[in-house]
Amino acid sequence: MSFQVFRQRWRKLLAAGAAALLTGAALAATTGTAAAAGTGPCDIYASGGTPCVAAHSTTRALFGAYGGSLYQVRRWSDGATANIGVLSAGGYANAAAQDSFCSGTYCTIVRIYDQTARHNDLTIAPGGGANPTADQGANAAALPVTAGGHKVYGVYISAGNGYRNNNTNGIATGSAPEGMYMVTEGTHTNDRCCFDYGNAETNNNDTGNGDMDAIYFGTLCWFSPCSGTAPKVMSDLENGLFAGGNGSNTANTGRGSAFVTAVTKNNGTSTYAIKDGDAQSGGLATRWNGSLPTQGGYQPMTKQGAIILGIGGDNSNGSVGSFFEGVMTSGYPSDATENAVQANIVSVGYTKSVPFPVNGATYRLTNLAAGKVLDAADCGTANGTAVRLWDNLNNACQQWRFTSVGANKWTITNVNAGKVLDAVNCGLALGTATNLWQSLGNKCQQWAVIPAGNGRYELVVENSGMVLDDQNCGTANGTKTQMWMWLNNTCQLWSFSS
């Protein structure tokens, strides 16, 4: 029989045993043990009467019976594509298939398949009201992690990355209720708009209050006061990131764990809830469970039913974030169902890969397109010294020391000058220059080193989420370096050598 027919029959069996399955899942959540083999989050949601209408993951199957493709990658060298599936039905992604297909070149994630029968796949987002330029797909090798003891890849969102589907099937519209979750990272966030997953406008524009219902995760404080600096799960209901109530909610203290379960639900007329949890252990914390905002437009909601990932409803795409899995449901899930889903997520055992580079080591950085190294202009040592590309001179002006300042966050110090690589004036605009400056301990001088495969890396500055770029892909000595959104080209890739 076809896979879809098999899955339909499987769901009927699930429905017949719904009460028993939910009881078992809730027990797993209570005891902290893993959910039964062959049970995925969407099986648990279905057993609770709130089935998944969209299920996206690049790391694993979200139904116990799912054996199809998880995502699609496109190869830079020839434009060919390959679907990456699971090792076995209900299992984990076949990362080796991606590694083999992308060997000797680089790959971009161009489609994330919906594991339900509704075909709500996510593809690279078009332009919108906030940014008319189409987005870029994520670097497919950027986020290697371990899940279930297997190497898998998450979706690493830099500024300019984003996915969307404006022609969905079964996603809540108007005041219909829905729930959703995603697994993300608490260490890869910023305060720009908007790292979202969920329900958005179908025309790529901000069309008014209540037209969205998406999970936001990050440090942007929309409604002051906010509590602390930890990234927070909030509801993007359009024209506001709501930490609870009418927006400001200091009881929502956030969560900065390595992996975070972000959960929201919205009954469409009166109530919404926000929860978060450590995706590696423990249960969910309720940050809000009460009235929808009383400002005009939110009671009732006017959801439009598109799905977005990594961007706002109007294609606001300055955010950064990580995505491993997420679902959207039909109906308002119970607390017991969400607790059981959290227990299932914990059972996956998400862990991070060993970071590169070596803390305290020095390297020369060679731009792949130019074949030239990152250089302090004229061996300058003053604040404001320009950073450029130059032939390798084997001197200390072209050596850079990497010092860890957190989870894959580094200061990059020029060995000769003793000053750090800096985004000038903490700029957020495309084309922001780079220079050397004394260490200020801010995010404009903190860099993530992101693998692209084949021994090449992106360098992403933390404040803006943009990457270190060879200006205009120049090849001459003296070519400037700058900050730009990720464009999936070799002008933004760097190799490390001693």
Catalytic residues: 238, 314
Which amino acid type is present at position 237? L
For residue 300, cis peptide bond before it (omega within 30 degrees of 0) = yes
- Give the Cα separation of 148 and 300 in Å (integer): 41
Cβ pair 316, 193 in contact under 8 A: yes
Residue 155 in tokens: 């979706």
CB-based burial, 66-83: b 16+ in 10 Å, e otherwise: bbbbbbbbbbbeeeeebe
- Give the Cα separation of 260 and 239 in Å (integer): 25
- Give the Cα separation of 363 and 186 in Å (integer): 28
- Give the Cα separation of 393 and 388 in Å (integer): 13
Residue 487 in tokens: 């464009």
- Give the Cα separation of 106 and 349 in Å (integer): 28
Closest listed residue to residue 191, CA positions, set 230, 160, 151, 155: 230
Q: Given the DSSP bridges, would you call strands 284-291 and 271-278 parallel, antiparallel or unpaired?
A: antiparallel
Distances in Å between the Cα of 402 and the Cα atoms of 18, 35, 423 are 53, 41, 16
